[in-house]
Amino acid sequence: MEVDAERGRVLLEESREAIVVVDVHGTVLASSRRARQSLEGVREGDQLPAELLGGAHALVVPYSVGGRDERLVYLSRVGDTAAYEELRSGFTAAVSHELRTPLARLLSLLELALLPGEDIRDLVDQARREVEQIRELIDEVLFLSELESGARVVALGAVAVLPVLESVAAELAERAARAGVTVEVRGDPSANVEVRPRMLQVVAQNLAENAIRYAGPGTNALLAVERDEGAVVIRVADDGAGVAETDLPRLFERFYRADRARTSRGTGLGLAIVKHVVTSAGGSVEARGGRGRGLEIRCIFRAR
């Protein structure tokens, strides 16, 4: 029974739908994270607002458990479908645009290879890099799609953060050395977050790669985890060129690049993936800094 109850709790919590469980009086007994984040007035122990319970977009499923009558309420908001279609259309257009650039360069390299006197080996090496760029973009698009569809569970149990940061730093040490970036790791060894180990590694790796790729030669990057007023904060801070303050709120958008990043070979999806993983686990992200003042990305996980 305990296993079944825990399984049911996880299924409800991690559902991509806005679901609320209420008793016969309309009091909220449990709810999915999606419901709490997207709808006003969904709090355990409070009455579910009448406009939600009796609204046109509520599907109510009555059932009995342990001799008690309860209702499972599926909620959707007006405009959800239209907003989703708009988002999907924009995302498809952005992916198509991002694929055109490496494909155009690849085509140009193949045309050059047909000309007499060209260095074929060098052209093949350049073409290989373009193919790797395309593959990286496709992999990240698929990964983000799986996250948004709920195919990958983000939060399930607690995991220590510091060992993951240390593992990522060791894995990226050679790349950091080539970029001229010194990476340091420190923090509270007892700090845990409720994120699957694989998802935490994705967050740490994308944050570290972002710093290594954009901080610039001769800079320092810090990967740290610390406790701050009841929250666990994972942050990556560098003392590189930074970005304009007007760019900071947009760094987590898909394919958005600040001026310096536009000349790089990044996919433009790394920080978008970070944001999705962190917010799916109930946390938040923020960017700090300014041009000439480096960049700091903070992932804040509130205690539950």
Other Cβ atoms less than 10 A from the Cβ of 126: the count is: 17
Shared-domain flag, residues 134 and 193: no
Name the pLDDT band for 95 (thresholds 50, 70, 90): low
Within a domain: 19: yes
Question: If you average pLDDT over every residue of the chain, what do you get?
Answer: 78
- If asked whether residues 170 and 118 sit together in one domain, one would say no
Average pLDDT for 276-286: 84
Split into its structural domains, the chain has a count of 3
The CATH number given to whatever domain includes residue 38 is 3.30.450.20
pLDDT, average across residues 141-154 = 57
Per-residue pLDDT, averaged over 126-136, amounts to 79
Kindly indicate the confidence band of residue 96, based on its pLDDT and cuts at 50, 70 and 90: low
Q: Is the pLDDT of residue 301 over 70?
A: yes
Q: Is 204 left (phi over 0), alpha (psi -120 to 50) or beta?
A: alpha
| 55, two tokens | 């609204």
pLDDT in tens, 152-186: 545 556 789 999 999 999 989 999 999 999 999 99
Mean pLDDT, rounded, for 46-70: 79
Whether residue 168 is found in the same domain as residue 293: yes
Question: Measured between alpha carbons, how far is 290 from 186 in angstroms, rounded to an integer?
Answer: 24
Most confident range, picked from 1-5, 59-63, 138-142, 153-157: 59-63
Interatomic CA distance for residues 203 and 280, integer angstroms: 12
Whether pLDDT at 81 is above 70: no
Q: Tell me the longest C-alpha to C-alpha distance in the chain.
A: 85
DSSP states along 184-239: EEEE-TT-EESS-HHHHHHHHHHHHHHHHHHS-TTEEEEEEEEEETTEEEEEEEE-
Together in a domain, 102 and 234:
no
Task: Kindly report the CATH number assigned to the domain that includes residue 112.
Answer: 1.10.287.130
Do 145 and 170 lie in one domain? The reply is no
User: Mapping DSSP to helix (H, G, I), strand (E, B) and coil, where does residue 139 land?
Assistant: helix
- 184 and 285 assigned to the same domain: yes
Look up the CATH number of the domain holding residue 289.
3.30.565.10
Check: CB of residue 224 under 8 Å from CB of residue 277: no
Token reading at 15: 């559902």
> Facing residues of 10 across strands?
none
Q: What is the DSSP letter of 27?
A: B
Q: Which of 104, 127, 149 is where one domain is finished?
A: 149
Average pLDDT over residues 246-265: 64
Same-domain pairing of 177 and 268: yes
Phi and psi for 236 in degrees, rounded to 5? -125, 120
Spatial separation of the C-alpha atoms in residues 198 and 202, rounded to whole Å: 6
pLDDT digits (tens, 9 = 90+) for 182-236: 999 999 999 988 877 777 888 898 899 989 988 889 999 999 999 988 889 999 9
Which segment, 5-19, 34-48, 131-145, is predicted with the most confidence on average? 34-48
| Residue 255, domain member (yes or no) | yes
How far is residue 127's CA from residue 122's CA, in Å, rounded to a whole number? Answer: 9
261 and 165 in a single domain? The answer is: yes
Tell me which residue range forms the domain holding 241.
Answer: 159-302
Tokens of 179: 């970029």
**Domain shared by 70 and 85, yes or no:** no
- 2 band by pLDDT with thresholds 50, 70 and 90: low
**Most confident range, picked from 50-59, 73-82, 109-118, 143-152:** 109-118
Residue 261 is predicted with a pLDDT of 45
Query: Are residues 170 and 263 located together in one domain of the fold?
Result: yes
Q: Please tell me the distance from the alpha carbon of residue 101 to that of residue 229, in angstroms, as a whole number.
A: 45
Structure tokens at 64: 């009995």
Q: What is the mean pLDDT of residues 263-285?
A: 74
122, part of any domain: yes
Residue among 27, 26, 9, 23 nearest 69 (CA): 23
- Do 184 and 271 have their domain in common? yes
Same domain, 71 and 173: no
Domain boundary among 149, 173, 206: 149
Q: What is the pLDDT of residue 83?
A: 45
The pLDDT value given to residue 56? 64
Residue 49 per-residue DSSP state: P
Q: Pick from 120, 149, 178: which residue ends a domain? A: 149
* CA 145 – CA 135 distance, rounded (Å): 15
**Among 121, 135, 177, 147, which Cα is nearest to 265's?**
135
pLDDT at res. 262:
42
Residue 154 included in any domain: no
